[in-house]
Structure 1
Amino acid sequence: MNETREVFRNFPVWMQIAFYVAALGMTAFFIYGFYKKYKKYRKGRDADRFNNVAGRFMKALGMMTTNSTVFKRDIYAGFAHWLIFWGFIVMLIGTAIVMLDHDFIELFFHYRLLQGTFYLWFSLFMDIAGVGFIVGLLMMMFRRAKKPPQLNYERVDLKKEEYDRGAYKKDDKAFIWLLLIIAISGFMIEGLRIMSDGYPEFEVWSPVGWQVAHLMESTGLAAALGASLHMYIWWFHGIIVLIFIGYIPYSKAMHMLLDYANLMFVDDMAAKKLPRVSEEKQKEAMGYVKLEDFTWKELLDFDSCTKCGRCHVVCPANASGAPLSPRDIILDMRTFANSNGGGTAEWFNQSFTKEKGKPGDKKLAIAGDIISAETLWACTSCMACVEACPVGIEHLTTIVNLRRTLVEEGEMEDSLQDALMNIGDYGNSFGKSDRMRAKWTKELDFKIPDARKEEVDYLWFVGDFASYDVRVQELSRKVATILHNAGVSFGILYEGEKNSGNDVRRIGEEGLFEMLVEDNIETLSGANFKEIFTTDPHSFNTLKNEYPEFGGNYIVHHYTGLLLKLIGEGKIKLNNKLQHHATYHDPCYLGRYNGETVAPRELFNVMGVKLTEMPRNKENSFCCGAGGGRIWMDDSKLDKRPSEMRIEEALALDGVNTFIVACPKDYAMYSDAVKTSGNEDKMVVMDMIDLLEEAVLVDTDDASHVSMEIDS
């Protein structure tokens, strides 16, 4: 017997024609669904994402083929998804080969590709892929049965009677069961064919089908009946496949195509460098007020969400009981966009009973109604949602652009309004005179050079909290003293410095941000320095990533990196090996935003500090709750402050009694948190500079110098 198989085994011509007609119709339905999505995306503004298309394509291809973004921090889900992904891809390619062979090569060239050795290996690979596919699906079903928190679709901003998301669960089940039925019925067709053909010897290359055939025969199924049953199962399989194809654009399954595009067009600088408001847009509004204000990439973001819930569980606002879930913002915007933008409506969509919450109503404002002001103001701009998302959704740009609308309308807390007015009037959020900015230096026994008048190697951009907050001023003096004693050439701007604007921009006050940038760049242009350093990760981010767009191009260091460099150069000498057993909190704007996680840990190493990491560390650090302007807002309504939750996380570590920070706002937040949580006697909050001061201090009674070198 020839080593091959028939596609339409014992099918009359009319039945074959019926299949092609049905397939053509469902393909047209599939194309129509995605065409409507394309029309919706065309309504969005340009996103400038077509630079380096080849590089973007290859990067996305790497992420997709390895499933690296799904594996991140969830190996089980990553492996299950990898099995499903590659099982589906191999079977899709196999189906395409069958179509090419039957409908083109054999028809026009009278030759069969699927025969002989090629067919045998083809059969083996298809069976292996099919088994992996089924295993992956079963793993995902088992995972869902355990009800992990990220797959809980309950909203945090509405009461249960005000919405219904039961359709989301139906969509999940439809998606996974359709795939499972397709895979199982495919193996049944194979087994029935092998049994009906009398077990041809070469069919052992289809090991799963071979075993299925024997299993069916063991039930007493006759070969003749198996041949008839083969046709019915074939049609059942074919109809389910066609239904699935038509289902894709209108369901969760759309992510199989959209997510590659979303990963390809992702902006690695999203959130780190927020978009400016064009002059043309400013004539209408500073923020987003209608669907056409969103970019096509943001509209694509909304459709790309798979409801995996990773952003939901990492969000500090959500964890603290605030009415914010990044996932729900994206899903609500998807519902609104599809209802008002001519998009492809989902077959399984959320519904609302609360009038204010109905996203399909064109009369509702996007910022304030579709996405409530309370939800938008709850965001700490920590970027955890963006970093956790496996499909490249840029939540923060949408949130900030909607905040810009609220700012323009004056819809914000009085305390936040006061902070913005202080920054506008005085250049700092404390509402103090700019002449008091350098008052903290008066207790030093030396004068810090004014970089506007003297040439220095390093300009220290001190920042508001390090300058004005009495809790942090002593830390600033320690930094200055250590650098001075080490003979480092550094200076400050004194009253010439203003708030860097990082948090102002993330609040949504773009006009004030640009004014601050303009003033600071003008001052910096008149100063004499080579490089900038700052103790404030917030200032570090905006100086490094956002000022260049306005002409401010500088080499910028966070002080942990600079201190490590100076120790390596021998300018700062360490005289004491420390005995602290500490944990370290990675600031969001240092670790997650800018990937600066090595230098702080190297400092611990050279100082001899025993470091025990918290479960959430480096890029996965948990936010203190101060960012995005939250430090100027009321947090009394929260179930528990993020800073208090972080202290509890540290207290759970065995033997740790020291909590190290490297950010002025972190020092303020966590110093308060140990007090409000009643843990002052259990945990001491220290800044990195506190440790370095201990390490460089020379004890005259026992001045044994400890030589320490940075690991290369």
Structure 2
Amino acid sequence: MFATERFDPQHVTRILFEGFSSPAIALFYLVGFAAIGVFCWGTWVQIRKYRRGQPQGAALALVPRFIDMCRTVLTHRTLVRRDPAAGRAHRLIFFGFALLFLGTSTIALDYDVIARVMGRSIWTGNFYLWFSLVLDLAGVALIGGLLYMMARRGWIKPPKLDYTRPDRQPGDPDYDRSFYRREDWAFLWTLIVIGATGFVLEASRLVWLQARPEVWELRWWSPIGAGVAEAMRGAGLDADGAGALRSGLWWFHGALALTLIALIPFTKVKHIVTAPASLMLRNPLAAQRLPRQSPDSERVGYSTITDFTWKHLLNLDACTKCGRCHEACPARASGAPLSPRDVILSLREFANEALQKNALPDEAKLSVHGKDVGQVFMETLWSCRTCMACVEICPVAIEHVPIIVQMRRKLVEDGAMEPQLQKTLQTIHKTGNSFGESKRKRAGWTKPLPFQIKDARKDPVDVLWFVGDYAAFDPRNQKVSQAFATLLHDKGVDFGLLFEGESNAGNDVRRVGEEGLYELLAENNIAMLGASTFKRIVTTDPHSFNTIRNEYPEFGGKYEIEHYTSFVQRMLEEGTLKVRRPLGYRVTLHDPCHLGRYNKGYDAPRRILQALGCELVEMARNRDNSFCCGAGGGRIWMPDPVGAEKPSQIRMREAGDIEGLEVFVVCCPKDLTMFEDALKTSGFEGRFVVRELIELITEALAEPASVAGMAREPAEDALLA
């Protein structure tokens, strides 16, 4: 190549300390080792902080996790979701910074190790030229990404980057989080200045050594530096002036870079370590399968910051304040005093204050519950719907829901909850259901049916239908249950129930934080299921589906279970069910949190609607971005603040934006309850109706002649029902 043809390759290089005296070089190494020492000490402080947390539990398969983490980091797949512009900018920053870091490390390795051991440098000739080109391009990528992030914070200003806290009032000592904005800008400006001074430093060296052909004639291998050098010469800068500029800038650039390294463990920059670590330790069932309470534990749940597992303490440090969880949270959107991001940041501030000291403070000062600075309010924790929107969208795998539930367990232990919730939990403990009805009435909805349903405790069945509380006791949902039972009977499905042997599955009881009651319910149901003979379980309740599928196995109850939508979809595809009357309705579908985000059951309901001949129009938020109805996490058992807009009403407004919408389709008993109420209170009654997917299936399977009033619109059918 050009370099080796005209010049000695050993002269095509850059002498690292050219023009510096031995004392100056010694001073640089002294400063560098000091920076590394501060970094190591800060790293130890963070490790000590994590070690003050509780053990994580079972050993993890680290190799496959490390590979998956590398794939996630390199593809940025979690960062480009729902915010592709920010993801692309971060990709530029990440790869630009990584290449520059690797380049600097290569230079240090060559100068301090290879050259001293081998007596010659590898940083010469063609390698040096390509090296210079790649690092110039990396610097451009870094600065370009940083400039976009600056514009994003300074001019675009997306609401999710507003650090205003919904859980505090102006004047509260920890209401102001302007220091986070200052930290963001300091981080951006530091990297911008390091990148920019790197180019100016490169340009000043070119002008300083312009008399050397092996430097000046090969300058365009550093295109950005060469362009700046031409501008400097055009402005009248000579070699002597460039040499003086280069000398001063060299120290400034180096000192700034070393300061950044020293401060990594104490600032936002540490996310370059904690975020990948959090991703590597990610639990794919973090919210779907909550941790059991150890019977040997002295305390229930998270009472103090030292009750947290070391992994959850690491999660706190992994947060980059991107605001995606803040934006996705239905509680925050409805005005509740909860932002998942602010919970994590409050706990992080608390952990840093309490656990980074040489000695732990008194236990009274370790409590994370209360109204003091850094503590999390009871009202904040009870606002959570455990819908998993925060966990699902977090790009660094923070486990907001398990952390909140662990903190709720402490509140439940202390009786610090809404009186209505406490009464409901007592009712469930007494009767096995949240309606307070006698167990003998659980199958009361079957009495109007013209056929008998098998008792799976007595007779073997192919399919055991786990009904759930709302589908069994709520009058509106009882009609849906009767329709599904009729469908199964008419198609010859061999199915049965547990009748009064069934109890509340406990999914929401567990997410409330009442672990003892949950384990009692789970053990009762598992005992009943164990006394029955069946091949698989089908449920119409996504909440029951989640806990039986994901949590019962830890208690010895491992079953083949599916939600009714996948069961019916298969029957339609196999021809067991035949559509006799294509509906032709213009519909939208609400993805239930526990079927969708929790268990990825997105496709079956859509395929059913397609088979029924419906025109599906998606709402803006659908599938993994579906907006919670507001019932989860026990919130259906708690009153909402008077005058506050409910998540279900927000969802109705979203559906109301669809022109010509006829049917709002749900496939969850709690969704049916929440959205039919919201339809009335949000002003959309009469424009469209809320219907269970089972009802549409029944309508489409009926003989045309047997469907009364076929020409009526769905809204009219509902009003006349």
If the length of structure 2 is used for normalisation, what is the TM-score? Answer: 0.94
Q: Does 1:583 align with 2:588?
A: yes
Change (3 A) 1:360 1:599: farther
Q: Show the counterpart of 1:175.
A: 187
User: What is the correspondence of 1:524-673 to structure 2 with a 5 Å cutoff?
Assistant: 524-637=529-642, 639-673=644-678
Aligned counterparts of 2:437 and 2:653: Cα–Cα separation in 1: 34
Aligned counterparts of 1:233 and 1:620: Cα–Cα separation in 2: 49
**Residue 365 of structure 1: how far off its partner (Å):** 3.4
Contact kept, 8 Å, 1:37 with 1:343, in 2: the verdict is: no
Q: Does 1:300 align with 2:341?
A: no
**Residue 701 of structure 1: how far off its partner (Å):** 8.2
Aligned counterparts of 2:28 and 2:335: Cα–Cα separation in 1: 54
Candidates 496, 505, 508, aligned match of 1:503:
508
Q: Which runs of 5+ in 2 are unaligned?
A: 1-6, 709-721
Candidates 127, 146, 153, aligned match of 1:118:
127
Change (3 A) 1:49 1:266: farther
Q: Show the counterpart of 2:367.
A: 365
Candidates 46, 49, 53, aligned match of 1:40:
49
| Greater alpha carbon shift after TM alignment, 45-54 vs 481-490 | 45-54
Aligned counterparts of 1:574 and 1:583: Cα–Cα separation in 2: 20
Query: Structure 1 residue runs of 4+, over 6 Å off?
Result: none
Q: Show the counterpart of 2:336.
A: 322
User: What is the correspondence of 1:125-524 to structure 2 with a 5 Å cutoff?
Assistant: 125-145=134-154, 146-162=156-172, 163-198=175-210, 200-281=216-297, 284-342=298-356, 362-363=364-365, 365-369=367-371, 370-524=375-529
Contact kept, 8 Å, 1:340 with 1:360, in 2: the verdict is: no
Code of the aligned partner of 2:162: N
Code of the aligned partner of 1:152: D
**Residue 362 of structure 1: how far off its partner (Å):** 4.4
Contact kept, 8 Å, 1:322 with 1:378, in 2: the verdict is: yes
Which SS does the other structure have where 1:518 is aligned?
helix
Deviations 1:659-690 (A, max 9, x none): 00000000000000001112111121011111
Contact kept, 8 Å, 1:49 with 1:267, in 2: the verdict is: no
Q: Show the counterpart of 1:56.
A: 65
Which SS does the other structure have where 1:672 is aligned?
helix
Q: Show the counterpart of 1:8.
A: 17
Contact kept, 8 Å, 1:320 with 1:638, in 2: the verdict is: no
Code of the aligned partner of 1:433: S
**Residue 343 of structure 1: how far off its partner (Å):** 5.6
Contact kept, 8 Å, 1:45 with 1:296, in 2: the verdict is: yes
Contact kept, 8 Å, 2:301 with 2:409, in 1: the verdict is: yes
Contact kept, 8 Å, 1:456 with 1:529, in 2: the verdict is: yes
If the length of structure 1 is used for normalisation, what is the TM-score? Answer: 0.95
Which SS does the other structure have where 2:36 is aligned?
helix
Contact kept, 8 Å, 1:448 with 1:492, in 2: the verdict is: yes
Contact kept, 8 Å, 2:301 with 2:410, in 1: the verdict is: yes
Contact kept, 8 Å, 1:127 with 1:206, in 2: the verdict is: yes
Aligned counterparts of 2:440 and 2:140: Cα–Cα separation in 1: 72
Q: Show the counterpart of 2:711.
A: none
**Residue 150 of structure 1: how far off its partner (Å):** 0.8
What is the percent sequence identity of the aligned residues?
48
| Greater alpha carbon shift after TM alignment, 190-199 vs 660-669 | 190-199
Q: Which runs of 5+ in 1 are unaligned?
A: 346-358, 704-712
Change (3 A) 1:343 1:474: farther
**Residue 576 of structure 1: how far off its partner (Å):** 1.5
Aligned counterparts of 2:394 and 2:644: Cα–Cα separation in 1: 25
Contact kept, 8 Å, 1:651 with 1:657, in 2: the verdict is: no
Aligned counterparts of 1:130 and 1:700: Cα–Cα separation in 2: 73
Contact kept, 8 Å, 2:164 with 2:176, in 1: the verdict is: no
Aligned counterparts of 1:608 and 1:189: Cα–Cα separation in 2: 67
Deviations 1:18-61 (A, max 9, x none): 00000100111011111101001111111136421100000000
Aligned counterparts of 1:395 and 1:5: Cα–Cα separation in 2: 50
**Residue 360 of structure 1: how far off its partner (Å):** 11
Aligned counterparts of 1:586 and 1:176: Cα–Cα separation in 2: 39
Code of the aligned partner of 1:472: N
Code of the aligned partner of 1:482: L
Q: Show the counterpart of 2:30.
A: 21
Which SS does the other structure have where 1:161 is aligned?
coil
Deviations 1:405-434 (A, max 9, x none): 110111111110111011100000000001
Deviations 1:598-654 (A, max 9, x none): 111111111111101111111111000000000000113463100000010011122
| Greater alpha carbon shift after TM alignment, 594-603 vs 692-701 | 692-701
**Residue 657 of structure 1: how far off its partner (Å):** 2.4
Contact kept, 8 Å, 1:472 with 1:664, in 2: the verdict is: yes
Which SS does the other structure have where 2:467 is aligned?
coil
Change (3 A) 1:701 1:262: closer
Contact kept, 8 Å, 2:391 with 2:401, in 1: the verdict is: yes
Contact kept, 8 Å, 1:367 with 1:403, in 2: the verdict is: no
Contact kept, 8 Å, 1:336 with 1:360, in 2: the verdict is: no
Instruction: Give the length in aligned residue pairs.
Output: 688
Which SS does the other structure have where 1:289 is aligned?
coil
Aligned counterparts of 1:634 and 1:269: Cα–Cα separation in 2: 29
Contact kept, 8 Å, 1:288 with 1:402, in 2: the verdict is: yes
Aligned counterparts of 1:590 and 1:431: Cα–Cα separation in 2: 26
Code of the aligned partner of 2:439: D
Aligned counterparts of 1:32 and 1:343: Cα–Cα separation in 2: 13
Candidates 69, 78, 100, aligned match of 2:78:
69
Code of the aligned partner of 2:369: A
Change (3 A) 1:575 1:446: same
Contact kept, 8 Å, 1:321 with 1:638, in 2: the verdict is: no
Code of the aligned partner of 1:270: A
Code of the aligned partner of 1:11: F
Contact kept, 8 Å, 1:157 with 1:323, in 2: the verdict is: yes
Code of the aligned partner of 2:42: G
Code of the aligned partner of 1:255: H
Contact kept, 8 Å, 1:487 with 1:571, in 2: the verdict is: no
Aligned counterparts of 2:58 and 2:226: Cα–Cα separation in 1: 50
